[in-house]
Amino acid sequence: MSFAFTEVNEARIPKILAKYPNRQSALLPLLTLVQRQEGHVSAEAMAEIGKRLELSPAYVQSVASFYTMYHFQPTGKYIILFCINISCQLRGADNLVEYTAGKLGIKVGETTPDRKYTLKREECLAACCNAPMMRVNDKYYEDLTKEKIDQILATLP
Ligand code: FES
C-alpha cells in the first residue's frame, strides 16, 4: 500500500517546513498532517515523511510512537479519549469508561464495526478542574455524567 498527501496538504508542506530552522524539526507537524488526512499514521506514511525530512523510517516511527496522540491503525470517525488520571479517576472516570464501552458494544482500545467510534483511555489532558472529562477528536467534554455522555454521543453525526 502506498501513501500520498492530498493536493491541499501537499501545498501546506512548504509552509510548514518554512517555520523551522531545519527539515527534521517539522516531524511532528507532518505526522499530525497525515493523521488529519488519513485518521491514522501508517508505516507507508511514516516512510514518506522520512523521505521528505531526510530521516529513516525507524527514526520517524520511534518519535511517533512516543506520543499517544498518534494512531497507527485505522480508527473510527470519532476517537473518544477518556482521561483516567487521578482527578478524573477520583470523580468516576472508570465507571464512565465502562458505561461508554457498554453503550458502544466494544472494549477499550476497540473500534465499533461501523467505524464510527474508537474508545481509548488517555493520560491527563489538563482539564483536571472539570473532571471527569473526555476528548472526542479535538473537542473537550468536561464534568461528565452518564446522562451527558448519552447526549454527546447522540449529537455526533
Ligand atoms: S486528571 Fe483528568 S484531565 Fe487531568
Per-residue pLDDT at 88: 98
Q: What integer is the mean pLDDT of 4-17?
A: 97
Q: Which of 1-5, 93-97, 132-136 has the lowest mean pLDDT?
A: 1-5
> How many angstroms is it from 127 CA to the middle of ligand 1?
5
* Index of the ligand 1 atom closest to the CA of residue 125: 3
Domain boundaries, the chain: 7-64, 78-155
Predicted local confidence at residue 110, as pLDDT: 95
The residue whose CB lies within 8 Å of the most ligand 1 atoms, and thus the one to mutate among 68, 128, 129, is: 128
Cα pseudo-dihedral 157, 30, 75, 100, rounded to 10: -70
**Predicted confidence (pLDDT) per residue in 15-58, tens digit:** 999 999 999 999 999 999 999 999 899 999 999 999 999 999 99
Report the pocket of ligand 1 as residue ranges, CB < 6 Å: 83, 85-88, 124-128, 131, 133
Domain 78-155: give its CATH code: 3.40.30.10
Tell whether the model's pLDDT for residue 1 goes beyond 80: no
The whole-number pLDDT of residue 2 equals 85
Cell numbers placing 11: 501545498
What atom of ligand 1 comes closest to residue 131's alpha carbon? 2
Q: Is 60 in contact with 99 (CB distance < 8 Å)? A: no
CATH number for domain 7-64, candidates 1.10.357.10, 3.40.50.720, 1.20.120.530, 1.10.10.1590 = 1.10.10.1590
Question: How many residues can be counted in the chain?
Answer: 157
Percent of the chain with pLDDT over 70: 100
Same fold, 7-64 and 78-155: no
